[in-house]
Structure formats: structure tokens, C-alpha cells
């Protein structure tokens, strides 16, 4: 998150509403929404939807999400333990146009966060191992049938930590066994395969993952 913000000379320590906060409900002169129906909006990619400092305006965000049922909101978080903070009264079992994905870089985080994801009233759930910093066993969670997709990827940027291809393949096999779609998103900057370590420039990290041709759909 901090590295991505730094690329745009943003201070990640500051939490505030941006000018794009209400973009989903802005309209053009002809009365149509600026964001067309059918769009997938990735929410807070360089922050976290449940960061504490955003508590005062989270309900307003939910109201916009509820208003735009024709747009799908994809929310990635590591703060799934705060999921119910500011939850709207009409949430029930979840809005159908919301996917919540938890990030789990290692086994410890997976065991902390995935059970919370599974127990929360959410319609669409995903798991993201990125940056993937170790082998992760999540088969017991995938067997619940509640996780719709798993994504794995290495770490980018200066000081990136190692990602091992074997960890990626192990996660993939668990997904295949449980019939859960799997995506290998990117190698990361420091990637080990077949006992050899590769330093991969950012522009090649996603293409190299695609060349592996190991993504699955069920």
C-alpha cells in the first residue's frame, strides 16, 4: 500500500475523503451516472475500507453502494475483524453487489482472518495471498463452499520479499481439490522457481505469471 502511494507522491499516513469518494453516484448532464452499470469498482486499493479513521463516513459509503445496485464493489481488507463497524441496518446477509476479499500473506494471517470472513454475513467472499510470503494451507476453509475465488501473487517494489513458485502451486492444488477458481496474479520482484531465484522488473511480473498458464475456472 505504502509503495503504491509513494509512486503518486501520496502520504499513506493521512486518511481522508478524496474527490472521487462520491464518484459512484455522480451524474452527467444527461442524468446518467458517470460510472456505467456493470462496472466493477475496486474500493480503497491503497487504503482499507475498515481503517479506523474512516469510521465517520463509512455509512455514507455504504449508502452509495446500496444506491448503485447495478455496480459491483470489490473490497479488499486485512481488517475483517472490524467488518460490522458502521454496517448499515439493511445489510441483512449482505448486499448482492459487494465482494469482500481478505488478504493473507502467511498461515498465521490466514488462520486469523479467513474464519472471520466465513462467519461474517457476506454474499461474495474471496481470499488473496498477496504478497505471498509462505506456503498456506487453506483447504479446510475452501471446503466450506463459501469462498468464491483465490488469488496468489508475489511482492513488488523495493525490499520485496521472496515468493516461491511451489507455494503458488500448493495453493492451486488446494483450490482444484475444492473446485474453487484460482488466479496466479504476479510473480513479485523476487521469485524462486526450481531452486533458482529471479529478480523480475515490475513490468514483467504479471506477464510472467500469465505465461505460467495455471489459472483455473470452475
- The chain-wide mean pLDDT, for the chain, equals 93
- Check whether 9 has a pLDDT greater than 60: no
Q: Please report where in the chains the cell 502520504 appears, as a residue.
A: 11
Report yes or no on 110 lying in a domain: yes
Report yes or no on 217 lying in a domain: no
Report yes or no on 6 lying in a domain: yes
* CA–CA gap between residue 186 and residue 208 (Å, rounded): 7
Residue 192 is predicted with a pLDDT of 98
Residue 111 is predicted with a pLDDT of 99
Q: Confidence class of residue 4 from pLDDT cuts 50, 70 and 90? A: very low
Domain span at residue 131 reads: 2-212
Residue 20 is predicted with a pLDDT of 76
Residue 17 is predicted with a pLDDT of 59
Report yes or no on 204 lying in a domain: yes
Domain count, the chain: 1
Q: Confidence class of residue 14 from pLDDT cuts 50, 70 and 90? A: low
Beta bridge partners of 190: 199
Cell of 6: 509513494
| Pair 118, 142: CB distance under 8 Å | no
Report yes or no on 112 lying in a domain: yes
| Pair 199, 189: CB distance under 8 Å | yes
Give the model confidence (pLDDT) of 89-135 as tens digits: 999 999 999 999 999 999 999 999 999 999 999 999 999 999 999 99
- Check whether 49 has a pLDDT greater than 70: yes
Q: Is the dihedral of CA 17, 63, 39, 78 positive or negative?
A: positive
Q: Confidence class of residue 45 from pLDDT cuts 50, 70 and 90? A: confident
Say what the pTM is: 0.90
What is the DSSP code string of 4-69?
HHHHTT--TT-----TTTTGGG-B-TTS-BSS-TTPEEEE-TTS-TT-GGGHHHHHHHHHHHHH-T
CA dihedral 145, 77, 21, 8 (to 10 degrees): -130
Report yes or no on 37 lying in a domain: yes
Give the model confidence (pLDDT) of 155-187 as tens digits: 999 999 999 999 999 999 999 999 999 999 999
Q: Confidence class of residue 18 from pLDDT cuts 50, 70 and 90? A: low
Residue 46 is predicted with a pLDDT of 85
Residue 78 is predicted with a pLDDT of 97
Report yes or no on 218 lying in a domain: no
Burial 88-99 (b: 16+ CB within 10 A, else e): eeeeeebbebbb
Amino acid at each position: 500500500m505504502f509503495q503504491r502511494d509513494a509512486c503518486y507522491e501520496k502520504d499513506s499516513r493521512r486518511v481522508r475523503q478524496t474527490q472521487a469518494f462520491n464518484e459512484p453516484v455522480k451524474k452527467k448532464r444527461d442524468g446518467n451516472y458517470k460510472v456505467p452499470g456493470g462496472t466493477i469498482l475496486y474500493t480503497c486499493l491503497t487504503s482499507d475500507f475498515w481503517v479506523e479513521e474512516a469510521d465517520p463516513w463509512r455509512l455514507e459509503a455504504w449508502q452509495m453502494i446500496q444506491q448503485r445496485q447495478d455496480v459491483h464493489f470489490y473490497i479488499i481488507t486485512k481488517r475483517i475483524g472490524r467488518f460490522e463497524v458502521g454496517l448499515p441496518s439493511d445489510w441483512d446477509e449482505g448486499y448482492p453487489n459487494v465482494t469482500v476479499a481478505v488478504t493473507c500473506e502467511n498461515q498465521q494471517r490466514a488462520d486469523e482472518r479467513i474464519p472471520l470472513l466465513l462467519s461474517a454475513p457476506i454474499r461474495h467472499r474471496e481470499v488473496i495471498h498477496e504478497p505471498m510470503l509462505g506456503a498456506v494451507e487453506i483447504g479446510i476453509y475452501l471446503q466450506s463452499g463459501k469462498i468464491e475465488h483465490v488469488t496468489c501473487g508475489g511482492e513488488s517494489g523495493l525490499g520485496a520479499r521472496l515468493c516461491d513458485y511451489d507455494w503458488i502451486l500448493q495453493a492451486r492444488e488446494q483450490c482444484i481439490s475444492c473446485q474453487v477458481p484460482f488466479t496466479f496474479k504476479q510473480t513479485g520482484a523476487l521469485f524462486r522457481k526450481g531452486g533458482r531465484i529471479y529478480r523480475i522488473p515490475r513490468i514483467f511480473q504479471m506477464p510472467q505469471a500469465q505465461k505460467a498458464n495455471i489459472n483455473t475456472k470452475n
